[in-house]
A and B are shown apart, each in its own frame.
Chain A
Amino acid sequence: MATTFHIAVCAGIVPDPLQTLEPTTTPGGPAIKNEMLLPAVLDPWAASALYEAADLASRVPGSKLWLVSLGPKARLQQVMMTVAQKVAFELVPIDSPQGGFADAAATAEAIASTIEAIPNLDRAKLLLFGGWESASRGAGVTLQFVGERLRIADQFFGVDQIIVHDDGSFEVLERVEGGKHQVSVCAGAPAVLGWATGNLAEPRNNPQIGMANMRTVMPALQRAKAAALDANGLRYVAVSLPRQQRETRVVQDMTPDQIAAELVAWIGKDR
């Protein structure tokens, strides 16, 4: 295959989904209480993008892979301890107090200008990967903004698969309504692909990959530029937890027949 890709994966970090989150107010706006103390993970859908990118790079020899991640440096370093053992990449960190309440346009601007400055990244070969939505803001707009800023004319979201053809064109499957995929064929890079789950399981930790990555991860973190994020006029009027608790009736003493009858009556009329 003559084509090679330069894949930049944009992936933030988020609190581990198993944690309970509580909002709080800071002088800089809303935040998650004790966020710096909560264990963090690479944003899950963006992690799918990273694994798919590594798989693609391994199948298209000569391709390169960068992981562009915006977040507090100390947190990034901690998350990289695990992520760097999964697949080979070059880390491009941006030091910033990130969280779901930051404005997406400001985040995108910081990411776009960082990608523009990556040495030896050929924008004609660029596949801009990331999650289709983050697990924090969950807006699905950051990657699109970055794509616009980098003047990329083709964008795909909710991607579960790409198949690259010999001429560099590729077929993309995007999630659409009703449990289906839309199938498109794109002439080739550059393009933006916002990934959903994809088809790959999380790679096992490989200490050798980890060691190789860490040689570049640590110096990159030390050099990471700080970015301040402008709120762009976004104001929070209220931030609250929903009422979570229901009055649960726990039924222990009914037979399957009785339960079935109750369920059918409950499902009943609306069928």
Chain B
Amino acid sequence: MESILVLTHADESGSALTKASLEAVTAGRDLAARLNAELRIGIVAAKPQLLSKGLLCAAPKGLQCAAPVLAVAGEAFAQARFASDAAACTELCRAAQPTLVLAPHSSRFARVMAAVAHRVGGAIDTHIAALGGAEGFETTRWFYRQRIEAVIRRDKRPWFLLLEPGTNPAFAADPHAPAAPSDQIAIAVELPELRTQVTGFRAPKVDEQTIRPDAQLLFVAGAGWTKKQPDGQVHTGEAAELILKFLRASGASLGSSKSLVDQGGEGNSVLPFLTHLNQVGQTGATPRHAKGLSTCCHGEEPHVVGWRFIGERRAVNLDPNCGWTRGKADVVYIADAFAVMQRVNALLGSSDT
């Protein structure tokens, strides 16, 4: 019989579990119900006692009681740092002795979980998109940057699975449920020498945050915005203004093609608010948004692989032979993005007032 440990961690505030952690809790409950497996939840946080409330009734679906919660506590775990996090997750696994470990594929856990699997003699697979299998347990993940999908099985246990954020609904505790949160079992961790200190966070040198993972819409800007236009001139300033205005009005997240971010060289784009963090594609991000709008971007395969998890896709391009028209978007408007976005902004502006 399988036994499941869901590993979770606090967000930057320390007072709540991350959304991706709560998604892993949902996956753990569903899987425990399906495999008739034991479920435990592990927390890595400075003050885990603040977090149990969010897990009220996080037992396998259909069961009343709460799932046992194991937690490490202490200031060392306020920081997302390899040495302390790897030690914490290892001890949680040793205490729970699971056969399956589910955890969010967050930057924090992706940094340590292979090391943890190595320490407890387990196997690991990451970027898991689905858990399934009618006979036996199997998982789905992508290879070659979202080009090939594979279903895999492993005999080795414990098997660690890092779940892709956005593939499960976040668990929400029922505040009216009768069950009391289970007591936390405190797990002691002997910390190694800590040679690293996390000193803070840095956002790119821009006036505003343009990457919004929770936005409904991804707006992609391509190199066309900074190229010579039919009037023989470049209009980079106007492009910057149109893009920022649209982002403010729509709340969209900003993605970019590689060609556009690379233009500035040494990490600085010609559009000052763009960095490599905005880049979508083969050597960029693979964000998840319900909709995507591409402008002035050709839609070449190394870019479009980053759109694998974008639901509805539309593009504005002057070129009727651009990649988007070849089955990569639902709708392609053959038009000047400057003219279109100006009018889109005008409409959004008037609908806001």
- Bound complex: CA A144 to CA B116 (Å): 10
With contacts A17-B301, A147-B115, A250-B325 known, is A140 near B110, CB below 8 A? yes
Q: Give the B interface residue count (CB, 8 A).
A: 108
Q: Are A248 and B328 in contact (CB under 8 A)?
A: yes
Residues of B contacting A248 with CB < 8 Å? 324-332
Question: CA A260 – CA B266 in complex, angstroms?
Answer: 35
Distance in angstroms between the alpha carbons of A44 and B279 in the assembled complex? 14
Contacting residues of chain A (101-118) with chain B, CB-CB under 8 angstroms: 101, 104-105
Q: Which A residues are CB-close (under 8 A) to B267?
A: 160, 197-199
* Binary contact readout B170-209 vs A (1 if CB under 8 angstroms, 0 otherwise): 0000000000000000000000110111111111100001
- B54 within 8 Å of A by Cβ? no
A248 to B333: give the CA distance in the assembly, Å. Answer: 10
Contacts of A206 in B (CB 8 A): none
Q: Is the CB of A101 within 8 A of B123?
A: no
Q: Let me know if A208 is at the binding interface, CB within 8 A.
A: no
B154 touches A233 (CB 8 A): yes
| Distance in angstroms between the alpha carbons of A18 and B323 in the assembled complex | 13
Expressed in whole angstroms, the Cα–Cα distance for A242 and B249 within the complex equals 34
Chain A residues positioned under 8 Å from B211 (CB to CB): 178-179
Q: Which residues of chain A in 222-239 are interfacial with respect to chain B, using CB atoms and an 8 Å cutoff?
A: 232-239
Residues in B neighbouring A155, C-beta threshold 8 A = 82, 111-112, 115
Contact B155 A233 (CB under 8 A): yes
- B81 CB-CB contact with A under 8 Å: yes
A166 in the interface, Cβ–Cβ < 8 Å?
no
* A256-B343 contact, Cβ under 8 Å, with A135-B282, A176-B107, A177-B106: yes
B100 smallest CB distance to A (angstroms): 15
Q: Out of A14, A188, A270, name the residue touching B216 (CB < 8 Å).
A: A270
A249, B330: Cβ atoms closer than 8 Å: yes
Whether the Cβ atoms of B217 and A267 lie closer than 8 Å is: yes
Known contacts: A176-B107, A256-B339. The answer to whether A239 contacts B150 by CB under 8 A is yes
Task: Tell whether A153 is near chain B: CB-to-CB under 8 Å.
Answer: yes
Please tell me if the beta carbons of B144 and A136 are within 8 angstroms of each other in the complex. Answer: yes
CB distance from A49 to the nearest CB of B (A): 12
4 tightest A-B CB contacts, nearest first: A179-B211, A260-B343, A141-B114, A245-B327
